[in-house]
Amino acid sequence: MVVESAKLWQVRLLGLTPAALSLVAVLLAAVPFGLPFFGPVVPGFAVMSVFYWSIFRPELMPGWAAFILGLVQDALTGVPFGATSIILVLVQGICLSQRKVFVGKSFAIGWWGFVLMAGGAAAVSWAIASLYALHLYDPRPVVVQFVLTVSIYPAVAWFFGRIEIAVLRRAG
């Protein structure tokens, strides 16, 4: 009985891995690297993380986790509260409804799906920011950010895949 409940707790704790990794991703995006011109175009790690886990382990990336991740990112980067939450909740919701398209398919299809999703996220975030400030923002940093994000995605997805095999599958 004791062993069983300990096992249950272990599974629950390990189940937090995707959310915890996403939180680290959000923090890492805010850490100063001191590279000129990098700040405005720092890749959207949070979108990558929410996309990946919503498709491959949807039960471990619920909507409220995406919502909270968005709030934390908003607070850290200084954008209006709720702006990133909208993006991440949308990404999570759309992935959840479309995950059958991606699960068990080749990596290229997953990457293509991510390109569409990250493109949509970039466009929506630009629209929200512009509406909020009633000012048409220069779209170039958003485009560069999008290109960087989709080019880094394979490496990040590979890393998440290793984590999934090493930690989550063992936990059952």
The residues of the shown chain that bind another protein, judged by CB under 8 A, are: 27-42, 62-64, 66-67, 70-72, 74-83, 85-86, 89-90, 92-93, 96, 125-126, 128-129, 132-133, 135, 137-138, 141-142, 145
Provide the minimum distance between the beta carbon of 97 and another protein in the complex, in angstroms, as a whole number. Answer: 8
Nearest to 73 by CA among 46, 34, 37: 46
Nearer to another protein, 81 or 158 (CB): 81
Provide the minimum distance between the beta carbon of 17 and another protein in the complex, in angstroms, as a whole number. Answer: 17
Nearer to another protein, 78 or 106 (CB): 78
Helices (H), 16-139: 17-30, 45-56, 63-77, 83-102, 107-133
CB contact at 8 A, 145 and 43: yes
Provide the minimum distance between the beta carbon of 168 and another protein in the complex, in angstroms, as a whole number. Answer: 21
Alpha carbons 61 and 47: distance in angstroms, whole number: 12
Nearer to another protein, 77 or 115 (CB): 77
Please name the amino acid found at residue 73.
Answer: Q
Nearer to another protein, 2 or 35 (CB): 35
Provide the minimum distance between the beta carbon of 40 and another protein in the complex, in angstroms, as a whole number. Answer: 5
Nearest to 52 by CA among 64, 40, 61: 61
Spell 126-137 as b/e; 16+ CB within 10 A means b.
bebbeeeeeeee
Alpha carbons 114 and 152: distance in angstroms, whole number: 11
Nearer to another protein, 88 or 156 (CB): 88
166 by DSSP, 3-state: which?
helix
Provide the minimum distance between the beta carbon of 6 and another protein in the complex, in angstroms, as a whole number. Answer: 28
